[in-house]
Amino acid sequence: MKQNRQQKDQVMKMKRVTIYDVANYAGVSLATVSRVINGSDVVRGNTRQKVEEAIEKLGYKPNAIAQGLALQKTTTIALVIPEASFTYTGQVINGLLDVAKIDKYNVMLHTTTEGIAEISDIIENIIKSRVDGVIIYNDRLTQSEINELNQYNIPIVIIGNRTSDKKISSVFVDTERAVYELVKEYLERGVRDIVVLEDRKNNNASRLMANGAAKAFEEAGLSFEGFLRIPDEYRTTYKFMNEYMKTHRHELMLANRDSQAFAILNAAKENHIEIPTDMELVCVLDTKYNSMVRPEISSFAIPSYDLGSVSMRVMTKMLNNEEEENGKEIELSYLYTPRQSTK
């Protein structure tokens, strides 16, 4: 069978070239080759040269798997994001990958599917693949699941939620405060009929938004009752809003994603509600499509790319055992950007 493997390799054209081949070709020991590829400075220039030539000649590429075994580290991190969130996480991923590339880390992508309880499979998988760290977008993972990972003593960075622990750091934007500040301002202007629309795809974001609004109301001596749930029987935000707006209208509506705001926009139009004249509209997260609708939705400029790049940077630092980086909570700032959907 060993024979078989080698034979097959022959047939398949070229045998994988290993560190042995290089050592042989260069007439040195494999230890020396190892030193060269790892940039050790004890190797004599002359020897180094020979080895480098051999590497070049043979087209040798170190086997990262073998290195991983020997070194007990894979220079790979796992990224876990909710499936179907690419529209909003695209920039986050780009930021993350750019930094990963610089630091020579590989990224293994895992997605969590809504509703399906296979998260434990993903965790199992992550453990088996011995990645050096895990970056998790959003709160799809419950505390207990995160704890399970944490047990394995593997550094974790959470994107989007403020959390921290011994080996857990987080990078996020304070949505709650963003909404709080906005609502507060409207309240001061005398606007009271404010509604926060639920985002069924992101409970946590919804909760934070509602909390922010509630806090502002509270401070004004009022109580907030404007959290608008989308009943299960409506398949889309648009369908619900279209129905809802036949009998309801508000002064200000807040949505999480721009796509929800667009749905509101269309439903409003259908119901002859003028935006921003009759109702104002703001969303938290937007995409490039927001510059393509009329009116453009006022939103918070969330630094998505940075959310990703900073996370990866934090991860690298944790991996380099810069202890002070552990358990950090890094808040990135947002910027409210008024557009045509507000007065």
Partner DNA sequence: TTGAAAGCGCTAACAC
Partner DNA sequence: GTGTTAGCGCTTTCAA
* Binding region for DNA (CB under 7 A): 1-2, 4, 16, 18-20, 27-32, 34-35, 37-38, 42-44, 46-48, 60, 62-63, 66-67, 69-72
Q: DSSP secondary structure string, 207-237?
A: HHHHHHHHHHHHHTT-----EE---TT-SSH
Among 74, 175, 206, 211, binds a second copy (CB under 8 A): 74
Of 287, 326, 337, 340, which lies in the binding site for a second copy, with binding defined by CB under 8 A? 287
- Contact of 283 with 297, CB cutoff 8 Å: yes
Element of type H or E holding 165: none
DSSP characters over 67-99: HHHHHT--SEEEEEEETT-HHHHHHHHHHHHHH
CB of 228 to a second copy, least distance (A): 19
Q: Confirm or reject binding of residue 322 to a second copy (CB under 8 A).
A: no
Q: 2 contacts which partner out of a second copy, DNA, none, CB within 5 to 8 A by kind?
A: DNA
CB of 101 to a second copy, least distance (A): 8
Within its chain, how far is the Cα of 291 from the centroid? 23
**CB 100 within 8 Å of CB 106:** yes
DSSP 174: -
Contact range with a second copy by CB under 8 A, out of 97-105, 157-165, 213-221, 246-254: 97-105
Q: Binding partner of residue 213 among DNA, a second copy, none, CB under 5 to 8 Å per kind?
A: none
Query: Which CB sits closer to a second copy, 162 or 239?
Result: 239
Tokens of 319: 């991996």
Which residue, among 166, 170, 156, 171, has the nearest Cα to 319 in the 3D structure?
Answer: 156
Determine contact, residues 154/315, Cβ cutoff 8 Å. no
Residue 90 engages a second copy in binding (rule: CB under 8 A): yes
Identify which of residues 130 and 328 has a Cβ nearer to a second copy in the complex.
Answer: 130
CB of 25 to a second copy, least distance (A): 19
> At closest approach, how far in Å is the CB of 52 from DNA?
12
- Do the strands 335-337 and 298-301 form a parallel or antiparallel pair, or are they unpaired? antiparallel
Residue 271 site contact among DNA, a second copy, none (CB < 5 to 8 Å, cut-off depends on kind): none
Q: Stretches 70-78, 178-186, 323-331, 335-343: which one binds a second copy (CB under 8 A)?
A: 70-78
Nearest Cα residue to 248 out of 220, 228, 218: 228
Output 11 or 190, the one with its CB closest to a second copy. 11
Q: DSSP states of 299-334 as a string?
A: EEE--HHHHHHHHHHHHHHHHTT-GGGTT-EEEEP-
Q: Does 13 bind a second copy (CB under 8 A)?
A: yes
Q: How far is it, in rounded angstroms, from Cα 294 to Cα 314?
A: 39
Contacts (Cβ under 8 Å, ≥6 apart) of 29: 23
- Residues between 126 and 145 with contacts to a second copy, criterion CB under 8 A: 127-130
- Could you tell which of a second copy, DNA, none binds residue 19, using a CB distance below 5 to 8 A set by kind? DNA
Kindly state whether residue 114 participates in binding a second copy, applying the rule CB under 8 A: no
Residue number, 66 or 335, with CB nearest to DNA: 66
Residue 222 binds which of a second copy, DNA, none (CB < 5-8 A, kind-dependent): none
The neighbour count for residue 333, using CB atoms within 10 Å, is 12
Number of residues assigned to the chain? 343
With respect to DNA, which residue has the nearer C-beta, 18 or 337?
18
Q: Which residues bind a second copy (CB under 8 A)?
A: 5, 12-14, 61-66, 68-69, 72, 74, 76, 79, 83-84, 86-87, 89-91, 93-94, 97-98, 101, 106-111, 113, 118, 121, 124-125, 127-130, 153, 238, 259, 262-263, 265-266, 269, 287-289, 292-294
